[in-house]
A and B are shown apart, each in its own frame.
Chain A
Amino acid sequence: MKAFLLYQQQEWVNTGRYFDHKSIVQDLGLNTLFMAAAKDMEKEDGKVKLVQEADMFIAETMKQVMTVPLTTEEEISYRQDILKDCLEDEALICELYELSAKTLQKWDKLGRRVSSTGGDRSSARNLVTEIHLLQLFVDSLGCLKEILENHTFHSEGFAGLKKRLEEEFSAGLENNLRQILNDVAFYANEKEHKDNISGRRVNKPRIVMGCGIGDGLKPDGFTLEELATEMRWHRDPNGTIGRMQDYWSSLTTDSVSVQKDISLSQSADYMEQQVVQYVLSCCTPFNMAFNSFFDQLHFQAAYYRGAVNLKHYMERFHLCSCFPTVGAQDELCFRELQEFVMAVEQRVSPVGNTCDIEKKMLLIVTGANQGGKSTFLRSIGIAQIMMQCGLQVAAQEYRSGIYPSFFTHFTRREDSEMNSGRLDEELSRMSRIIDNLGKDSLVLLNESFASTTEKEGSVIAYDIIRAMNEAGVKVLTVTHLLSFAQRMYGEMAQKEGGKAEFFCAERLENGKRTFKMIQHAPELTSFGLELYDDIIGKN
């Protein structure tokens, strides 16, 4: 049985990560989002009343799922459709998540971790556990069916889950399993507290078997005729009534009393155990079929649970939200895109940016420090990652290509000093990226090659970025390397069909910064000079 809530034809396998997912998470600050997704909000009259403690399983799940890109539009819309159902009826996903979590919890209590690492499967104790486990599966699947029947949904994902469940856990199968559980009940319930005193009704088995004589007089060729659990009055075999009954039976029928001595009663116990084990072993395919199902359901439901929580955050900070759409590889269009991580961290609604870039494979953003360039680049990176795992993004509209081969190359604070060792490290990171570029690559460069002189850095950047561009790699770069930017502008922006776009941080006439990015030729501006003007004055 498959959950198939993350992929149409595939369960979660935890492979296919972004090549350098650790850098991506660090550079874009995605850990903040993972934690936000893990926190449930209680609302009253539309206002946030209480933020629950983080569910670390959800955080871990988000981290895993968000760092594995989807590769086609079809895959993305498959998840988006499921997410739409979840947003429309949040109770649905909550109930699914809770059910799978509880099932796994009970399973753990039954000793799942212990039994999976070995141990004698046939021991009486384990057999009882197996019965309880079967009961747990049957009950949980029954609940799952109920949940899916009580909610409405439109997505292929949920509809498929419901259909598969109805097929693989049909009403007929459910009835049969409940019958079997009834028949072996004597084993599960009586053995647990064997030291009963007489005078109460207990579960007793009735077993009928056929056999012949095999090699060396050994009874052989067994068939199982009947198996049932019956309620009987507990009677002490050594009591008066017990002995009389036993004596009477031995006179009238060809039968053996298993209570006569310890060896016989042990054999009888063993026989009961073997019969139960046989019956349960027949149920193994059912157990196997659903063995990994609850883990998958738990994981996959956790993802949508987290997605719903992220939506709550967007609402709380009054961010726009939309389901992104897939465009061409040289397309990047969005309206009012906001930097989601910053919003969560600083509890604000950041400035939204709009851009329409078509038929361009290179975006160069220049401008003053502290002007919002990095925020702009990050907001695109975050939106791209969220889009590529089926989430909503913080914008009114977002349209872009799909880039499973996605890299970030951000200058980290600690390595921004001028130092040949730093440059070496930067270049080696770059070289690893080059080694691993694939089809449909997108590279985000943030102040790369800043660890050397402007002149050298510009040459390096020019060569590398041009080479990547020519190889069909899309590059978005924020840079203060002005000669590099101007050289690119001179070569590409001027001529017809040039594949580059140039943005700059907007400044109003009065010199005030708006933190908005606008289309603009790269120009010599320096925050330092502005600062000087501000403080010393223009005279």
Chain B
Amino acid sequence: MEFTSILDLKENPDRNHPRTAFFQDLNLNRVIDRICQEWEEDVSSFYYYFPVDKVGEDYRRAVYSDVKQVEVYDVLRSFVERMRARQEAFEQKQKVNSQLVRLQKMVWHIAEVKHYCDALVILDRELSGFSLKSMGMREFQKYLKKYLAAEEFQQLAKTVCDIQERLDAVHLILTYENGRINVAAGTAQGGYDSFLKNCFPGVSRQFSSPFGVSENLSDLEAEIMKLVQKQNPELFHAVADFAKKHREYAGETLLRFASEIKYYLSFYCFERKMQESGYVFSTPDVAEDEEMYARGLYDLALACVNMQEQKTTVPNDMEYRGGECFFVLTGPNQGGKTTFARSLGQLVYFVKMGLDVPAAAANVHYFSRILTHFSVEESVETGRGKLKEELVRLSPMMEASPKNAFVVINELFTTAANYDARIMGKRVLEHFTARECRGIYVTHLKELAQEGEGIVSLRAMLDESGKQNFRIERSAAVESANAINQVSKHRLTYEQLKERLG
């Protein structure tokens, strides 16, 4: 089968699906925005759909481990830069509008084709130095070699180089005097530039075009260029000829590769930046026959924020031991419960995307999809209204839930009476465990942590002084010391006051 895409083995029906709610619940949209910050718009769309199956996830994981070699990354990155230059030339070509519009378009076309040829030839040359292991990259390499060897491409590359060289060789001297600009062929020495450089050593100012930066030619420039055209008839004949012959030239598959490879590049670029700030990433194992676990797992969205504010992010460990399938997480407010739940969801997301995970080490099983339910932030809605809204959002999630999904539920039924909430919570848990789902359930109801098979009770911990330390540990749920929490939250205990006033 011939190579078609570096992202998917077969066409992916989810490509254009609307974004599901979990991106927002897990704060993944913020992470994705950060990842794609310095990239073109088309990149972020790749982050919003999963590969169709486990084979598809493994296909990406293999490609990513090839891309992660720094040298390969650099080669691909400069390829993408060259293709971006091609794209810019293409866009400029559409935009020009001056007296010499036809001729200008032709010259832009030459630049566009030149960038294209250069990008591919250089990519092929530089990639051949590496031994690539992934099926995706190897198939692409094969495809590229075949494409470049074809007579059609050879001809194209040769002609475009030749014309470009001749254009580059044109040098003019413009003399402005007495209301006229004289145009003559000749190479200038930059006499006044040198004089200025001598006056102010160490200053490097570039004398840019005194005709303005607009890509369009002004009337004055057009008049000058008409004279140049008159002085170089053969060259401009060749330019026109090329434009006519090679109007369509680009290979669809290669353009698609240039766009899709940015998925891997953008993530690696991001990962490296985070690593420089001390955040750990690792390639996850995906062994189904071993326990699912993660060590040093953290919330990537929070890490992005903390990194800017120079704060640290507390990592946590987690493990589903034999037969365990659901965490029930309780503990004090502001203790890192939601953050932990998010980090779990993010872990599964990045594994499914075939990328590295924000943890020191991890083994993650295959999940068919991710389901999340987060309570809307404490709004002023009436209790019943909010409960109803929660149930309305929950119901399709439960009805449609396929086997083997990963479920993240955060603070369900906070507005219902305790007794009701317990019963409802229990039913929800039973529903998902019966469908071989795994996940985490964050709640303030300690009773839920004691119910049912396969349920593990986790608790957000406090340090000796009763302050939140954001550690999540296996521990039976306890009644929270609310009063102390309140005082300590307002930093009004005796020690704290001493410290504040000290």
Contacts and interface: CB of A to CB of B under 8 A. Distances in A.
A256 B210 contact: no
B175 A177 contact: no
A270 B181 contact: no
Task: Tell me the interface secondary structure of chain B in the complex.
Answer: mixed
A464 interface: no
A227 interface: yes
A208 B207 contact: no
A285 B191 contact: no
B192 A256 contact: no
A226 interface: yes
B179 interface: yes
A210 B221 contact: no
Contacts of A173: 199
Nearest to B171: A212
Nearest to A209: B174
B107 A216 contact: yes
A207 B193 CA distance: 12
Interface stretch (B7-15, B211-219, B276-284, B347-355): B211-219
A534 interface: no
A418 interface: no
Contacts of B186: 210
B310 interface: no
B173 A218 contact: no
A419 interface: no
A434 interface: no
A207 B219 CA distance: 19
Nearest to A232: B178
B274 interface: no
B205 A217 contact: no
Interface in B148-175: 167-168, 170-175
B171 A268 contact: no
Given A176-B199, A177-B199, A237-B179, A270 B212 contact: yes
Given A173-B199, A227-B192, A254-B182, A219 B173 contact: no
Contacts of A213: 107, 167-168, 170, 228
B172 A212 contact: yes
Nearest to B95: A216
A217 B187 contact: no
Contacts of A259: 179
Interface residues of B, number: 63
A219 B93 CA distance: 16
A225 B188 contact: yes
B224 A278 contact: no
Given A209-B210, A267-B219, A283-B200, A255 B181 contact: yes
Interface stretch (B32-40, B96-104, B437-445, B465-473): B96-104
A206 B191 CA distance: 14
B181 A282 contact: no
Interface string B195-210: 1101110110101111
Interface string A169-212: 00001001100100000000000000000000000111111111
Contact of A206 (B105, B176, B203, B231): B176
A208 B208 contact: no
A261 B220 CA distance: 10
Given A209-B174, A217-B100, A282 B199 contact: yes
Contacts of A204: 177-178
Contacts of A209: 173-174, 176, 188, 210
B220 A215 contact: no
Contacts of A284: 203
Task: Tell me the interface secondary structure of chain A in the complex.
Answer: mixed
A217 B101 CA distance: 10
A424 interface: no
B111 interface: yes
Interface string B268-289: 0000000000000000000000
A497 to B, nearest CB: 38
B384 interface: no
Given A258-B220, A282-B200, A219 B225 contact: yes
Max chain A Cβ within 10 angstroms of own Cβ: one of B171, B192, B218: B192
Contacts of A253: 182
B200 A256 contact: no
Nearest to B92: A216
A215 B111 contact: yes
A255 B200 contact: no
B104 A217 contact: yes
B406 interface: no
B108 interface: yes
A159 interface: no
Contacts of A261: 219
B210 A278 contact: yes
A6 B225 CA distance: 60
A186 B209 CA distance: 20
Given A270-B211, A278-B210, A216 B108 contact: yes
Max chain A Cβ within 10 angstroms of own Cβ: one of B173, B195, B203: B195
A285 to B, nearest CB: 5
Interface string A42-60: 0000000000000000000
16 contacts: A176-B199, A209-B173, A212-B168, A216-B107, A218-B217, A223-B193, A223-B207, A253-B182, A254-B230, A255-B180, A255-B183, A256-B223, A258-B220, A267-B218, A268-B176, A270-B211
Interface of B: 89, 92-93, 96, 100, 103-105, 107-108, 111, 167-168, 170-184, 186-193, 195-196, 198-200, 202-203, 205, 207-212, 215, 217-221, 223-225, 227-228, 230-231
The 5 closest A-B pairs by CB, nearest first: A210-B188, A223-B190, A267-B220, A274-B210, A255-B182
